[in-house]
Structure 1
Amino acid sequence: MCLGIPGRVTELTDPAEHLAKVEVSGVRRIISVRLLAGQGLEVGDWVLVHVGFAMAKIDEREAQLTLDAAKKMGREYLDELDAFTSTRIV
């Protein structure tokens, strides 16, 4: 099963290449935010992340509800977190 997990944008590392640093459950990674181009993404915004890509911009309440629900899924949540941890954009 593939999930999207909420992450908070901590830095816009390369706006020209649509790259941002996002924190998910204490882990920070640079991901692609290209799919959200034109949505006014800023530091502090929440996004739904799947294997190195921000899929949607979400509000903080939705992020918390999604994170709470994902954690209840157990192994699937841990698998998605592992995928996030091991994904790197080169």
Structure 2
Amino acid sequence: MANFRKLASGKWQARVHKDGKLVSLGTFRTKKEAEIEAAKVEERKYYGQTINDRNMLFDEAVKNWLEYKKANVKESTLIQLEVIVRNHIMPTFGDKKL
């Protein structure tokens, strides 16, 4: 379940429970924007997908993305994506934190 609070700046902060702690999803201009983002995170949790983790490496995020794409694109497209990622993106960003 998400938690929302209005900050002194007038913006809204959305937080969700992760590993027994409240984790901030960020600040938003309106409460509605915060609710929408929290709903997206709750949906990802429900379907077993990862919540944005500030310590997650770019490499892990790309692997998750490619796994998602596998179900939604033709095999030839997936192969092209894997080659592009391996040759052009991972050498620069693979070991960086998100």
Same fold (TM over 0.5): no
Query: Normalising by structure 2, what TM-score?
Result: 0.31
TM-score normalised per structure 1: 0.33
Q: Greater Rg, structure 1 or structure 2?
A: 2
Whichever structure has more helix as a proportion of its residues is: 2
